Chains A and B, each alone.
Chain A
């Protein structure tokens, strides 16, 4: 008996295939989004709830249709590890982890370089909002587990949103909440190049196609849309102070498109803020009725 791995059940069923053979796959030529009911600037509906993990100091769960993320905050607790030296302010440790089954391709249990990088960015995006100067010699640990990922940058933005709600739920003093939103640049109705994903492995002819038609800014892109993106941007923003904590941009796109997408993201963050606010006020009501 192999105890280290999960063996399949003895009675097996045929795997569920993501795309049936006869199913038509979405492509940007269709002039509508993957979800035909969404306009380019529309976000997916957000479900956000606090108090999912009872043993954590604070926790939050976020769901954007298929994207599902759980976040737990532990601490503040004293730093016991030697070698850190004295620090007059607290430290925020973030750990971003994909569940093995979260993505299309199976993920490893061990943290891979991508998760390490995202953890670091998450720390950078959240630290400005937390009043760490009030917590000398202490550390706060934030653990994020992605249960299902539908679009990487939108998933990461949702993780920042969830983490800041979890921090507030833990009663940690914060300057403001951090809302995050992502946008992808997709060239809709592309007639020149064939719609073969992904464009990241661009041949020499691809840049010519880019310059011909300005890409459409698609907010909160899902996985299907992300496959055709020219690039993407993620903005983490403190809504009531009107300050940006992090911008993560990849791919090549015109300057005007970038500034336009940042504005779109900030606008969307303000919408997300309303959801965050609702979730936190609800958590107060729950405690009072208990």
Chain B
């Protein structure tokens, strides 16, 4: 709940570090808090009677960028025995203006029996996958992981073209032909 609303610009001094906790859109420099984006200054009370949070609500939303531990939604582009290449389209519920490249390595597909993972039994090109970023990866791609119950394929189409519904954590059924296909499914939230 915003108690004070005021337009600020980058570099504007907002307050002393002893009075507030730096939130998003602000930075700390030599005991003072400054705004780092153009937006509306907001002071939010903290949860446990500590210092209030000082945030700047930005006016123009910047494109989301994947960071370590963020949950991303991506589309499988191609697979090979070692990893699945994906294109990251949504980061923490915010769409990216430009897709980021990512890979899900075979050892990151699930938490147990990592050596028995077969990529082609986990993902197929065209699947929509919910994954977590484990590392910023190499120059080209982010490294993603689906080693959690709520991570994995959330949407896919079968060979026949029907949409797939999960029937267990590693099986999905085609709605048209009732054929069962293997996937690393995400537990429905």
Listed in ascending order, the chain A residues whose CB lies under 8 Å from chain B are 57-58, 75-80, 82, 84-88, 129, 131, 135-138, 168-177, 238-241, 276-277, 280-281, 283-285, 287
Q: Is the CB of A281 within 8 A of B36?
A: no
A177–B34 Cα distance when bound, in Å, is 12
Q: A177 touches which one: B10, B139, B140 (CB < 8 A)?
A: B10
Q: Is the CB of B63 within 8 A of A57?
A: yes
Consensus secondary structure, chain A interface: loop
Which single residue of chain A is at the shortest CB-CB distance from B142?
A: A137
Q: Is the CB of B62 within 8 A of A284?
A: no
Q: How far is the CB of B55 from chain A (nearest CB, A)?
A: 13
Kindly supply a per-residue 1/0 record for chain B positions 52-80, scoring 1 wherever the CB is within 8 Å of any chain A CB and 0 otherwise. Answer: 00000011111101010000000000000
Which of B11, B62, B138: most chain A CB closer than 10 A?
B11
Q: Is the CB of A169 within 8 A of B34?
A: no
Which single residue of chain B is at the shortest CB-CB distance from A78?
A: B100
Q: Is the CB of A86 within 8 A of B65?
A: no
Which single residue of chain B is at the shortest CB-CB distance from A276?
A: B9
Which single residue of chain B is at the shortest CB-CB distance from A75?
A: B63
Known: A88-B136, A277-B9. 19 other contacts (CB 8 A): A58-B60, A78-B99, A80-B140, A137-B139, A168-B10, A170-B62, A171-B38, A171-B58, A174-B10, A174-B36, A175-B10, A175-B34, A177-B10, A240-B11, A240-B12, A280-B38, A284-B7, A284-B38, A284-B59
A138–B58 Cα distance when bound, in Å, is 20
Q: Is B16 an interface residue (CB 8 A)?
A: no
Q: Is the CB of B101 within 8 A of A171?
A: no
Q: Is the CB of A287 within 8 A of B59?
A: yes
22 contacts between A and B (CB under 8 A): A57-B60, A57-B63, A57-B97, A76-B63, A77-B97, A79-B139, A84-B139, A86-B136, A87-B139, A135-B65, A138-B65, A168-B9, A168-B10, A168-B37, A169-B60, A171-B62, A172-B62, A176-B34, A177-B10, A177-B11, A238-B11, A240-B11
Q: Is B98 an interface residue (CB 8 A)?
A: yes
Q: How far is the CB of B127 from chain A (nearest CB, A)?
A: 21
Residues on A with C-beta less than 8 A from B11 are 174-177, 238-241
Residues on B with C-beta less than 8 A from A170 are 60, 62
Which single residue of chain B is at the shortest CB-CB distance from A83?
A: B139
A212–B47 Cα distance when bound, in Å, is 71
Q: Is B13 an interface residue (CB 8 A)?
A: yes
Q: How far is the CB of B114 from chain A (nearest CB, A)?
A: 25
- 10 tightest A-B contacts by CB? A176-B11, A240-B11, A171-B60, A174-B10, A171-B62, A77-B98, A173-B36, A86-B139, A280-B9, A78-B100
Q: Is B116 an interface residue (CB 8 A)?
A: no
